[in-house]
A and B are shown apart, each in its own frame.
Chain A
Amino acid sequence: MSDPQILVENFLNALTAGILVGCIYGLMCVGLGLIFGVMRVVNFAQGDFLMLGMYAGYYFFTGWGLLAFLGPYAGPLLSAILAGPVIFAGGMLLHRFLISRVSGLRTTGSLDEGHFGQLIVTLGVSLVLQNAGLIVFGSTPRTVNTPMSSSAWVIETHIFDSLVFLNKARLISSLLAILAAIALYVLLERTRLGRSLRAAADNPTAATYVGVDVDRAHRIAFGLGSGITAVAGGLIATFLSYSPFVGLDFVIIMYAGVVLGGMGSILGAFWGGLTVGFVQQFSGLVLPPQLQNAAIFVVFLLILLLRPQGFFGRSAERA
């Protein structure tokens, strides 16, 4: 391979990998952004919902084999989508019995608005989920077995005859991630439920005056945020292997994405995740791989310095 060909190929593959990985990161961030945007809860257990989504995908397709009849292409993707409703229900229950005690109207007007309690409770939930995961799922790394993870559609370009590799699992996962994010956007913007969620986010007290059940809105938001992140987890499970502690590796990326996009903005969270994917891939072109994640935080700090509210912090509508 000639030097220009290597250069062009590296650039094009970093670009495509950045888009593909970034879209999936974007969906993860949307889940966290929704919970923060509507409830103002900083959820430290979000990485563990991602983990639960991965395991749900695993059991639906590989473990119990319920969707194995759909084959190694459609089966894993449907498993990822089905992980959403399962974790949505789990998130609703968690909110009903635990999170609601340290959030919502109950804490409005308190000195810290419940943030200390929320930090401790979500951190505790995270630890419980990780260790319960270790007991229930075991320490053996799992993956949703599909040949898509190690195969690619190859595009031959005319620029120095360079090749672009589009990983099948990542490409399809990123398309599904975009669709899921659009569906959520439509739900929030075009439906009655979305309006009630936005009302509960903007001013919980005023929302109660106009008949919005804020507690229910928060419960749905928490369930949706958990479920969406779980779908992202199910999609990631088609190309990564993982153990119950995998959430720790992603929770930093989620927070970076949400803060980059602007805390509280759903659209911003998606763009933030996409940016993290881009930075991760493009930094690989010039920096050693061990500085990949460091590069994310350098960009993160720069944006906080130059635009502390994030990309969409003020201009975008909350939730």
Chain B
Amino acid sequence: MTEDRERAASPARAASVPAMPRRAALGLGLGAGAAVFGMGGLRAQAQESTIKFALLAPLSGPWARQGQLKQLGAEMAVDEINQSGGIKALGGRKVELVIFDAGDSAEKAKNAAQRMVAQHPDLIGGSGAWLSSFTLAVTEVTERAEIPWLTLSYSDAITSRGFRYVFQMSPTADDQATKALPTILDMAQRATGKKPTTVGLISGNDASAVSFMRPMRATELERNGLKPVVDETYTPPLSDATSIVQRVRGARPQFLLCITSNVPDTKLLLDKFAEYRLGGDRLPKIGNGGALGAPELGKVVGPQVIDGLMGIVANWGGKGSEEISKRFVERTGEPWLNQDSLMTYVDMMILREALERAGVADRRKVNEVIHGFDMTDGVAKLSPGGRLKFDDRGRRVGAELVIIQWQSGKPVAVYPPAIATAEPIWPNT
């Protein structure tokens, strides 16, 4: 290009070329302009030819690993959609995944959502943002932009605000609290022959843990005949667990609800329990959240210390998802299919299903279709409870909780029986 310009500027060359008539020049200019606009139009058409799904998750900061797991699930889903011919109802249009980093605070997550909405006005729907406090902030933005948003976050507040564009795939924290205790007590009774009557409570003060523990403290413990003998709340990240574990040691509960939200806190507590002779073989511990099944937790804590730990999660690779688990493990090198990857995979597949049914790339229509879902086959089978239907608030009807337990250095589903691949182990002390 530079060469051409130099040649045209050369006096000898200029002298040899006859002067261009004004009309011809005008025509050429208009033609060139039209060509440029035409190319722009083509480019715009090429961009429009993809359907955009969004993933907004923490990819930096203390929760970056969970965001990474979500990303693995989303990418796998989008690749599978595209490899199977794209969105058939839209002439095979391919799906493009746009990814935004929620960072390490609710403020950053909200800013990321605002950037996402501004940069991609043609988004069809999305998934995120893992931590309940982030999801609360992000959905303020996606609701205003009328973007259907699927989330695995647990907090009840996410779907208690009258929003129409938020869909909560997990049982809410309240729901988990109501369902968890009878299941846990039943497991204990089957293993030991008697129902526990005392419990210890340890929890962070993040949104999800607070949501889970509020109904526990208010009604559920009493309803299930449990007396809390120790109740401690800490601010994550935990810098030291000595005082907490010492209080548990003094109180001697029969089991412990230990609601942590990240790997470092869980390691710190489990190590300290083992050190104080309250390991998995003596004091059963139950937590909640996908971080409890993260492969790195097993690596940093070690099988001797982590074995026996139970976790309440919203989904897990067990019976019924063997094929997806196999593909996921082969594709990513992760040792097993976890809650975060599986649920984000399912979110993308739900958006595809809604688009296929809507038959038009209009997110408002897609939202209506999701609200109208009542499925028990296809993608619905990948969620515990096996049903895909949302109530008016956007909560999945019949969402069941899953209990996993670390056994021989690996987390396996032990409840419900439809998903469970192993029997629960409860120490008989």
Q: Chain A residues in contact with chain B, CB under 8 A?
A: 1, 6, 9-10, 13-14, 17, 21, 131, 134, 139-143, 145, 147, 149-152, 165, 167, 239-243, 245-246, 249, 253, 280-281, 284-285, 288-290, 292-293
Question: Is B302 interfacial (CB 8 A cutoff)?
Answer: yes
Question: How far apart are the CA atoms of A21 and B239 in the complex, in Å?
Answer: 10
Report chain A residues within 8 Å CB of B301: 150
Which of A6, A141, A285, A288 has the most CB atoms of chain B within a 10 A radius of its CB? A141
A-B contact pairs, 21 of them (CB 8 A): A10-B246, A10-B250, A21-B240, A139-B59, A139-B67, A140-B68, A141-B263, A141-B264, A141-B297, A147-B304, A150-B271, A150-B301, A152-B276, A167-B275, A240-B264, A241-B296, A245-B61, A245-B62, A281-B243, A289-B232, A289-B233
Question: How far apart are the CA atoms of A132 and B67 in the complex, in Å?
Answer: 18
Report chain A residues within 8 Å CB of B238: 289
Which of A6, A143, A253 has the most CB atoms of chain B within a 10 A radius of its CB? A143
Beyond A139-B60, A150-B275, A249-B239, whether A290 also contacts B234 by CB under 8 A is yes
Question: Is B397 interfacial (CB 8 A cutoff)?
Answer: no
Chain B residue at minimum C-beta to C-beta distance from A3: B250
Q: How far is the CB of A161 from chain B (nearest CB, A)?
A: 14
Chain B residue at minimum C-beta to C-beta distance from A282: B243
Report chain B residues within 8 Å CB of A142: 296, 300
Question: Is B64 interfacial (CB 8 A cutoff)?
Answer: yes
Q: How far is the CB of B354 from chain A (nearest CB, A)?
A: 31
Question: Is B252 interfacial (CB 8 A cutoff)?
Answer: yes
Report chain A residues within 8 Å CB of B304: 147, 150
Question: How far apart are the CA atoms of A165 and B276 in the complex, in Å?
Answer: 7
In the complex the two chains form, is B302's CB within 8 Å of A240's CB? no
Which of B104, B249, B297 has the most CB atoms of chain A within a 10 A radius of its CB? B249
Question: Is B185 interfacial (CB 8 A cutoff)?
Answer: no
Question: Is B305 interfacial (CB 8 A cutoff)?
Answer: yes
Question: Is B90 interfacial (CB 8 A cutoff)?
Answer: no
Question: Is B355 interfacial (CB 8 A cutoff)?
Answer: no
Question: Is B235 interfacial (CB 8 A cutoff)?
Answer: yes
Report chain B residues within 8 Å CB of A249: 237, 239
Report chain B residues within 8 Å CB of A140: 65, 68, 296
B298-309 contact mask (Cβ, 8 Å, vs A): 1 or 0? 011110110000
In the complex the two chains form, is B274's CB within 8 Å of A150's CB? yes
Question: How far apart are the CA atoms of A242 and B264 in the complex, in Å?
Answer: 6
What 4 pairs across the A-B complex have the smallest Cβ distances?
A284-B243, A139-B64, A150-B274, A289-B234
Q: How far is the CB of B249 from chain A (nearest CB, A)?
A: 8
Question: Is B76 interfacial (CB 8 A cutoff)?
Answer: no
Question: Is B286 interfacial (CB 8 A cutoff)?
Answer: no
Q: How far is the CB of A216 from chain B (nearest CB, A)?
A: 37
Question: Is B205 interfacial (CB 8 A cutoff)?
Answer: yes
Question: How far apart are the CA atoms of A165 and B268 in the complex, in Å?
Answer: 15
Report chain A residues within 8 Å CB of B305: 150
Question: Is B95 interfacial (CB 8 A cutoff)?
Answer: no
In the complex the two chains form, is A293's CB within 8 Å of B239's CB? yes
A141 touches which of B104, B275, B276, B296 (Cβ 8 Å): B296
Beyond A145-B300, A165-B275, A288-B233, whether A1 also contacts B250 by CB under 8 A is yes
Question: Is B244 interfacial (CB 8 A cutoff)?
Answer: yes
Question: How far apart are the CA atoms of A249 and B249 in the complex, in Å?
Answer: 27
In the complex the two chains form, is A290's CB within 8 Å of B275's CB? no
A285 touches which of B240, B243, B296 (Cβ 8 Å): B243
Question: Is B102 interfacial (CB 8 A cutoff)?
Answer: no
Report chain B residues within 8 Å CB of A167: 275
In the complex the two chains form, is B244's CB within 8 Å of A289's CB? yes
Question: How far apart are the CA atoms of A6 and B232 in the complex, in Å?
Answer: 17
In the complex the two chains form, is A290's CB within 8 Å of B276's CB? no
A13 touches which of B61, B233, B242 (Cβ 8 Å): B242
Q: How far is the CB of A246 from chain B (nearest CB, A)?
A: 8
Question: Is B270 interfacial (CB 8 A cutoff)?
Answer: yes
Question: Is B267 interfacial (CB 8 A cutoff)?
Answer: yes
A243 touches which of B62, B233, B274 (Cβ 8 Å): B62
Report chain B residues within 8 Å CB of A21: 240
Question: How far apart are the CA atoms of A165 and B305 in the complex, in Å?
Answer: 17
Q: How far is the CB of B248 from chain A (nearest CB, A)?
A: 11
Question: How far apart are the CA atoms of A48 and B41 in the complex, in Å?
Answer: 49
In the complex the two chains form, is B250's CB within 8 Å of A281's CB? no
Question: How far apart are the CA atoms of A243 and B61 in the complex, in Å?
Answer: 8
In the complex the two chains form, is B239's CB within 8 Å of A288's CB? no
Report chain A residues within 8 Å CB of B267: 141, 143, 240-241
Chain B residue at minimum C-beta to C-beta distance from A13: B246
In the complex the two chains form, is A143's CB within 8 Å of B300's CB? yes
Query: Besides the contacts A141-B267, A241-B264, what 4 more A-B pairs have beta carbons closer than 8 Å?
Result: A140-B68, A150-B274, A242-B264, A284-B246
Chain A residue at minimum C-beta to C-beta distance from B244: A289
In the complex the two chains form, is B275's CB within 8 Å of A152's CB? yes
Question: How far apart are the CA atoms of A129 and B234 in the complex, in Å?
Answer: 29
In the complex the two chains form, is A9's CB within 8 Å of B62's CB? no
In the complex the two chains form, is A139's CB within 8 Å of B237's CB? no
In the complex the two chains form, is A280's CB within 8 Å of B233's CB? no
Report chain A residues within 8 Å CB of B271: 149-150, 239
Q: How far is the CB of B282 from chain A (nearest CB, A)?
A: 13
Report chain B residues within 8 Å CB of A145: 299-300, 302
In the complex the two chains form, is A289's CB within 8 Å of B250's CB? no
In the complex the two chains form, is B302's CB within 8 Å of A150's CB? yes
In the complex the two chains form, is B60's CB within 8 Å of A134's CB? yes
Question: How far apart are the CA atoms of A245 and B64 in the complex, in Å?
Answer: 10
In the complex the two chains form, is B242's CB within 8 Å of A290's CB? no
B43-86 contact mask (Cβ, 8 Å, vs A): 1 or 0? 00000000000000001111011011000000000000000000
In the complex the two chains form, is A245's CB within 8 Å of B246's CB? no
Question: How far apart are the CA atoms of A141 and B298 in the complex, in Å?
Answer: 11
Beyond A1-B252, A145-B302, whether A17 also contacts B235 by CB under 8 A is no
Chain B residue at minimum C-beta to C-beta distance from A151: B275
